[in-house]
Every structure is written in structure tokens, then in C-alpha cells.
Amino acid sequence: MMASCFRLTSSLIFAASLLACASTKIPNASGSSSEVVSAGQPTEALVTPGKTTATDNSEAAAEIVLVKVPAIILPAELQKKLDEIAPIISNQQMDVTKQKLKAIASEWPDYPQPPLSLAALSIQQKNIDQAKEWLVVAANKSEMDHSSLNSIGIAYRKLGEFAKAETFYLASIDAAPGYPLAQLNLGILYELYLFQIDKALSHYNQHQKLLSEPDPLVAGWIKDIEARLQRVKAQEVSQ
């Protein structure tokens, strides 16, 4: 029987959308399940603005709540400005980053990436009300796509607003049924936060089907949930 694992989700660089999920189960001393962070496969992974790969498992990276670029192609100038912010974020220069992002948001008012990044920074600084304000701004941008919807879902999950997180993950899946990150994030939400493991199993399986090669880590989660469901069924039969 698999040991339960601790899922610690890291975050994508909001300079383009808000978090996509990567995974690596870290055993929890208590044996209970929590979040994950993994390298290579979807879960909330730390990505340089504008890049869709390169995850980071470090504790420091897990603390930075910034996001991944959406599937849409950003204007070259906007992408360049977002890329230039990455080293500032890495150096934890949050106030400087905020000012630059606000300037970018004013210059590119139709794109959700700058306000998503600002929401991420606000979450990082535990300014919850401000984070929610920026998320509302981001959600109303015209240049929205499935990756940005997924990122907004992650932000709301981090804020503990699970119903809103579910809504945005489902919207992401509806916009792009072939997008595996939203399937994975929704599975994590159902398993670890809403305790609906049957739904989690469905989305983990769908995530696996959408990958060129199944993620062995998620395969382990699936096996674990299947065992748990079997135990529940056996208990019901015996009663």
C-alpha cells in the first residue's frame, strides 16, 4: 500500500498567466496527504515569464507565486518586458517588480498576465484583499485563454476559495479539453481540498491520457486512490 504523500505546489510566473501544476510527492511526516511539487510534469511549476518549461523544486521557488504564459502568442514587446522582470523577481525585489508590472498593465490593458503577476505578488506578501482585486481585473481581460483561466484557478486555490478555483479550472478545460495542467490541478483540488477522490481519480486519469507518456508520479496517485476507493467499497459491503 502506498504511503500518503505531501503535495506542495510551487508556482508559475504570473508574468503570463497564473500557475500551472507540476508534481513531486514529498512524504509527510504525519502520513497525511497534502500538495505536491514536481519537476518536469504539470503541477504548479516555477517558470520564467514567457517560458512554458523549466520547473524548480526548491523551497524558495515554491514561495514565489508567479505564472506561466498562456497558449496565445504575446506581442513581442510585451513578452520582452515580462522576461526582463524575471531576474528582479529572483532577487526578491517585490516593490520594484510591482511598479514595473503596474506600468506594463497600463501599457497593455487587454492582457491578463500583468494583473495575474500582481495578484501572485500580493499572495506572496499575504495581501489577500489586493490579490483578489487583481484577480478580478485579470479575469475581465479580453486576451484570455485556457492557460490564464487555469492560472486564475490556482490563485483562488491558494487563497482558499475552492469553489472559484473549481470554476476556473473547469472553464480552462472547457476552453481547451486537451490541456493537461488544468486536469491535474482540478484533480489535486478534488483530492486534497474538496475530498472528492472519485472526481480526483477521473481527472488524474484524463491528465495521463493527454500526455505523450504517463507521469509515473501521477500514476502512483491513481493507484493510491484506487486502493482507497476499494477499501471504502469493501467496508460498505461488510456493513
DSSP secondary structure letters along the chain: -PPPEE-------TTSSS---B---EE-TT--------SSSSBS----TT-S-----SHHHHH----PPPSSPPPHHHHHHHHHHHHHHHTT-HHHHHHHHHHHHHHSTT-SHHHHHHHHHHHHTT-HHHHHHHHHHHHT-SS--HHHHHHHHHHHHHTT-HHHHHHHHHHHHHH-TT-HHHHHHHHHIIIIIS--HHHHHHHHHHHHHHSSS--HHHHHHHHHHHHHHHHHHHHHHH-
Q: What is the pLDDT of residue 71?
A: 54
Mean pLDDT of the chain: 75
Predicted TM-score (pTM) above 0.85: no
199 backbone dihedrals φ, ψ, rounded to 5°: -70, -40
Bigger pLDDT: 26 or 162? Answer: 162
Q: What is the pLDDT of residue 190?
A: 98
Q: What is the pLDDT of residue 231?
A: 94
For 55-82, write each residue's pLDDT tens digit. 232 222 223 233 333 456 789 999 899 8
Rounded average pLDDT over 14-18: 32
Rounded average pLDDT over 11-33: 32
Chain centroid, CA 12 distance in Å: 7
Rounded average pLDDT over 191-200: 97
Rounded average pLDDT over 140-166: 94
Residue 103 has pLDDT above 70, yes or no: yes
CATH topology of domain 5-238: 1.25.40
Residue 34 has pLDDT above 70, yes or no: no
pLDDT band at 94 (very low <50, low <70, confident <90, very high): confident
Decide: 100 and 88 in contact? Cβ < 8 Å: yes
Query: What is the rounded distance in angstroms from the CA atom of residue 37 to the CA atom of residue 194?
Result: 19
> Among residues of the chain, what percentage have pLDDT more than 70?
69
